[in-house]
């Protein structure tokens, strides 16, 4: 699995795990044999990336600036934030700059990850994409 796929899975997976209001058992419709099965890969509604990550940050003991730092975002998701891992992510996302200029690469990565999350069903505030 690619690094970006893992990021997406961890964020979207946390959104799926959030409690939803369930109908009381007496009001729940009986399953129908003719009804099509829902696709587990397609979220019913856009995933609020900001809410998911803010929720994770609130329960995390570290003060992580995941909105501006790819390193902190990866740490928040309990992923490898090492330079080789970030270079691999940059390669996956088609970074064309020098990976030796880590500051520039890191700024590009956090913005690109947020943009890609938005393109894949995530609700991401505009300020996190630019």
Sign of CA dihedral 74, 78, 81, 85: negative
Q: Let me know if residue 20 belongs to a domain.
A: no
Give the model confidence (pLDDT) of 94-124 as tens digits.
Answer: 999 999 999 999 999 999 999 999 999 999 9
Q: Let me know if residue 26 belongs to a domain.
A: no
Q: Let me know if residue 106 belongs to a domain.
A: yes
How much is the pLDDT for 61? 86
How much is the pLDDT for 38? 42
Q: How many domains does the chain have?
A: 1
Q: Let me know if residue 40 belongs to a domain.
A: no
How much is the pLDDT for 129? 77
Q: Let me know if residue 30 belongs to a domain.
A: no
Would you place residue 130 in the very low, low, confident or very high pLDDT band (cuts 50, 70, 90)?
confident
How much is the pLDDT for 16? 56
Q: Let me know if residue 37 belongs to a domain.
A: no
Give the model confidence (pLDDT) of 33-62 as tens digits.
Answer: 444 444 345 455 789 999 999 999 999 889
How much is the pLDDT for 26? 41
Q: Let me know if residue 114 belongs to a domain.
A: yes
User: Whole-number mean pLDDT of the chain?
Assistant: 83
Q: Let me know if residue 62 belongs to a domain.
A: yes
Range of the domain at 65: 3-14+46-129
Give this prediction's pTM: 0.76
Q: Which one of 10-24, 31-45, 87-101 scores highest in mean pLDDT?
A: 87-101
Q: In b/e form, how buried is each residue of 23-58, taking b as 16+ CB within 10 angstroms?
A: eeeeeeeeeeeeeeeeeeeeeeeebbbbebbeebbe
């Amino acid at each position: 699995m690619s690094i970006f796929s893992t990021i997406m899975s961890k964020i979207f997976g946390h959104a799926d795990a959030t409690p939803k209001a369930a109908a009381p058992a007496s009001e729940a419709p009986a399953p129908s044999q003719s009804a099509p099965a829902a696709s587990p890969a397609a979220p019913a509604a856009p995933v609020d990336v900001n809410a998911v990550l803010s929720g994770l940050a609130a329960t995390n003991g570290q003060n992580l600036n995941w909105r501006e730092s790819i390193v902190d975002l990866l740490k928040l998701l309990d992923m490898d934030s090492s330079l080789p891992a970030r270079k691999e992510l940059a390669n996956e996302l088609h970074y064309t700059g020098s990976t030796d200029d880590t500051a520039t690469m890191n700024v590009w990565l956090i913005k690109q990850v947020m943009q890609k999350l938005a393109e894949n069903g995530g609700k991401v505030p505009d300020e996190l994409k630019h």
